[in-house]
Amino acid sequence: MNEFVELADWFGWRAPHEPEVVDSLPTPTFTVKDRPRISFSTNNYLGIATSPRTKAAATRGIKAYGVGNSDSRLLGGNLALYGELERKIARSNGKSHAILFATGYLTNLGALSTLPRATQIARVFGFTASREYSYAYFSDEYNHISIREGMRLSGARRYSYHHVDLDHLETLLRRSTATSKIIVTDGVFSQDGDIAPIPDLLRLAERWDALVYVDDAHGTGVLGASGGGVVEHFKAASERLIYMGTLSKAYGSIGGYIAAHGLITEVLRMACPAYGFTATLPPDQAMVISTAIDVVRDEPERRQRLWDNQRYFVKRMAELNYKLVATETPIVPIWLGDEAKAEQLALAVREEGIHVDAIRFPAVPIKSARLRIQLNAGHRRADIDHLVDVLRRHQHLAEPARRFVAASRDRLGYSGQWRPANAPVCAENSDSAMLVMKTAKNRS
Ligand code: PMP
């Protein structure tokens, strides 16, 4: 018990940070204690979570099947609609196969922890490989925590490369003796809003005989001419590509998936406990997702409004003296650095009826706090003007700032997320979230 007393005190459990209780969910307007607010930090990018068509699909699904699937698909829960949805997802991602998981987080945790262990798991059932395989992950240092946790659980070697630094990545690939190499990246970096250079990563994968695993949680439904995500954005196609998407953001539901060559998805279906040993999505949500894919395709005006708003916000922000971390996607983070200032600015904005998330350690490194602005199809010009006006009144908080300085690692002088103080980036990375939180706290 003592260790938990110590730990809970360290976390400040007696006065915990309570997230605000809301009365409704952002569409992007919502209410808190009966007062209206508008969110500039919601993943419901296209408003599909409350679209009449998705709501009708959920109602039809509940009427037909009830509210949940209490079984795994490997046991009694394998309704035909799951397979149909997987085929639809595969087609919409230009892949032959897809496999569904209950959440996006679980998709990364399950797939990344399983791929290097699949041979080992099959061995238990009598499989003998023709040779000894060894696995290594090469992961962008800003990747989402579900990626890092998945890789850690795999037991494979892990190398972290500097954010989008292809030279560093290639040095690590060259040095590695692993027989099976997997490069892993966010498609759109969730706290930074920039886009991974997928074609360059595929070129390196070709050269070093690797696979590329892309977590496109914030790109799915948002990037690309028809919402096909980062792969459509770059018109990238390769059998080396393992595409991961989440269904909880632009698609407004819950769940995650891998779309890839059938070899990958079917090995996961057989060997991944996070697929086989857990209940899957409720059937009504599978029907919602199928409809959400149609909504993204048939209602392009949603994506049009999202991108018009993105461009308008970026243009208006050029009038102010803030540093924007990136301006390429609907995630446009405003750099503050100092945690207290970020909280202060978020609070000041909230007092004006606008919700923005202050992103701070442990989601980003210490002294890298920012306001993560996420544009939305449902924002009106007047909402954006109001936010810009409020930001204008408080811009002293961001000083000293320069306009439109993309927050590259070197320029801002922070040394990368979650890395222990003295761990070299190129070395095998053995961190866990907790270990690094503690190390980072000790440093502050
Ligand atoms: N990957 C990334 C990059 C994310 O931003 C998130 C959600 N914050 C996830 C995975 C997890 O997705 P979900 O919330 O759908 O489980």
Query: Is pLDDT above 70 for 137?
Result: yes
Going by pLDDT thresholds of 50, 70 and 90, the confidence category of residue 172 is: very high
Cα–Cα distance, 303 to 294 (Å, whole number): 13
Rounded mean pLDDT of 408-419? Answer: 35
Average pLDDT of the residues of the chain: 89
Q: Are 289 and 393 in the same domain?
A: no
Query: Is pLDDT above 90 for 2?
Result: no
Total count of residues recorded for the chain: 444
Q: Which pLDDT does position 402 carry in this prediction?
A: 60
Q: Are 433 and 284 in the same domain?
A: yes
Q: Are 33 and 146 in the same domain?
A: no
Q: Which residues contact 346 (CB under 8 A, 6 or more apart)?
A: 356, 357, 358, 371
Which of 258, 236, 234 minimizes the C-alpha distance to 245?
Answer: 258
Query: Is pLDDT above 80 for 74?
Result: yes
Answer whether residue 269 is part of any domain.
yes
Cα–Cα distance, 89 to 109 (Å, whole number): 20
Going by pLDDT thresholds of 50, 70 and 90, the confidence category of residue 413 is: very low
Report helix, strand or coil for 40. coil
Specify whether 190 is catalytic.
yes
287-315 per-position pLDDT tens digit: 999 999 999 999 999 999 999 999 999 99
SS3 letters across 198-214: HHHHHHHHHHCCEEEEE
Q: Are 93 and 76 in the same domain?
A: yes
Q: Are 139 and 164 in the same domain?
A: yes
Answer whether residue 22 is part of any domain.
no
Rounded mean pLDDT of 147-172? Answer: 97
14-67 per-position pLDDT tens digit: 776 778 899 999 999 999 999 999 999 999 999 999 999 999 999 999 999 999
Tell me phi and psi for residue 426, to 5 degrees.
Answer: -80, -10
Rounded mean pLDDT of 130-136? Answer: 93
Which of 257, 238, 171 minimizes the C-alpha distance to 199?
Answer: 238
- Which of 69-83, 169-183, 408-422: highest mean pLDDT? 169-183
**Closest ligand 1 atom, CA of 187?**
3
Q: Are 165 and 207 in the same domain?
A: yes
Q: Which pLDDT does position 94 carry in this prediction?
A: 93
Q: Is the peptide bond before 420 cis (omega within 30 degrees of 0)?
A: no
C-alpha 187 to ligand 1 mean position (Å): 11
Answer whether residue 309 is part of any domain.
yes
Question: Is 144 near ligand 1, meaning CB less than 6 Å away?
Answer: yes
Beta bridge partners of 244: 215, 258
Q: What is the CATH number of the domain that holds 282?
A: 3.40.640.10
> Residue 348 sits in which domain range?
27-50+299-420
Q: Are 223 and 337 in the same domain?
A: no
Rounded mean pLDDT of 77-96? Answer: 96
Q: Are 45 and 115 in the same domain?
A: no
- The count of structural domains within the chain is 2
Catalytic pick among 95, 181, 233, 249: 249
**Closest ligand 1 atom, CA of 186?**
3
Q: Which pLDDT does position 434 carry in this prediction?
A: 33
Rg (CA), the chain: 22
Question: Is 190 near ligand 1, meaning CB less than 6 Å away?
Answer: yes
Cα–Cα distance, 44 to 51 (Å, whole number): 11
Catalytic pick among 97, 181, 218, 379: 218
C-alpha 216 to ligand 1 mean position (Å): 9
Question: Is 322 near ligand 1, meaning CB less than 6 Å away?
Answer: no
- The structure tokens 């632009």 sit at 250
Specify whether 253 is catalytic.
no
Q: What is the CATH number of the domain that holds 327?
A: 3.90.1150.10
Q: Which pLDDT does position 26 carry in this prediction?
A: 93
C-alpha 319 to ligand 1 mean position (Å): 32
Answer whether residue 2 is part of any domain.
no
Cα–Cα distance, 102 to 85 (Å, whole number): 13
Answer whether residue 334 is part of any domain.
yes
Q: CA 348: distance to chain centroid?
A: 27
Rounded mean pLDDT of 112-116? Answer: 97
Q: Which pLDDT does position 67 carry in this prediction?
A: 96
Which residue of 41, 144, 220 sits with most ligand 1 atoms within 8 Å of its CB, as the best mutation to test the pocket? 144
C-alpha 221 to ligand 1 mean position (Å): 14
Q: Which pLDDT does position 92 carry in this prediction?
A: 94
Tell me phi and psi for residue 286, to 5 degrees.
Answer: -60, -40
Higher pLDDT, 412 or 153: 153
Structure tokens at 195: 């886009």
C-alpha 43 to ligand 1 mean position (Å): 10
Q: Which pLDDT does position 16 carry in this prediction?
A: 67
Q: Is the peptide bond before 400 cis (omega within 30 degrees of 0)?
A: yes
Answer whether residue 10 is part of any domain.
no
Question: Is 103 near ligand 1, meaning CB less than 6 Å away?
Answer: yes
Q: Are 212 and 307 in the same domain?
A: no
Catalytic pick among 190, 248, 253, 290: 190
Q: Roughly what angle, to the nearest 10 degrees, separates helices 300-317 and 283-298? A: 70
Answer whether residue 17 is part of any domain.
no
The residue contributing the CA closest to ligand 1 atom 13 is 104
C-alpha 45 to ligand 1 mean position (Å): 14
Q: Which pLDDT does position 419 carry in this prediction?
A: 35
Rounded mean pLDDT of 236-250? Answer: 97
208-242 per-position pLDDT tens digit: 999 999 999 999 999 999 999 999 999 999 999 99
Q: Are 286 and 352 in the same domain?
A: no
E strand or H helix that includes residue 250: none
E strand or H helix that includes residue 241: strand 241-246
> Do residues 244 and 255 touch, judged by C-beta distance below 8 A?
no
- Helix boundaries (H) for 299-337: 300-317
Answer whether residue 11 is part of any domain.
no
Cα–Cα distance, 250 to 260 (Å, whole number): 20
Rounded mean pLDDT of 356-384? Answer: 95
Note the pTM of the prediction, 2 decimals: 0.90
C-alpha 96 to ligand 1 mean position (Å): 24
DSSP 410: H
Question: Is 110 near ligand 1, meaning CB less than 6 Å away?
Answer: no
Question: Is 215 near ligand 1, meaning CB less than 6 Å away?
Answer: yes
Structure tokens at 251: 């698609």
Which of 202, 266, 197, 208 minimizes the C-alpha distance to 239?
Answer: 202
Cα–Cα distance, 113 to 109 (Å, whole number): 6
Question: Is 379 near ligand 1, meaning CB less than 6 Å away?
Answer: no
Q: Are 293 and 348 in the same domain?
A: no
Sheet of strand 331-337: strand arrangement? 323-324, 331-337, 369-374, 357-359
Which of 415, 387, 399, 392 minimizes the C-alpha distance to 341?
Answer: 399
Q: Are 109 and 168 in the same domain?
A: yes
**Closest ligand 1 atom, CA of 248?**
15
Question: Is 154 near ligand 1, meaning CB less than 6 Å away?
Answer: no
Specify whether 51 is catalytic.
no
Higher pLDDT, 239 or 401: 239
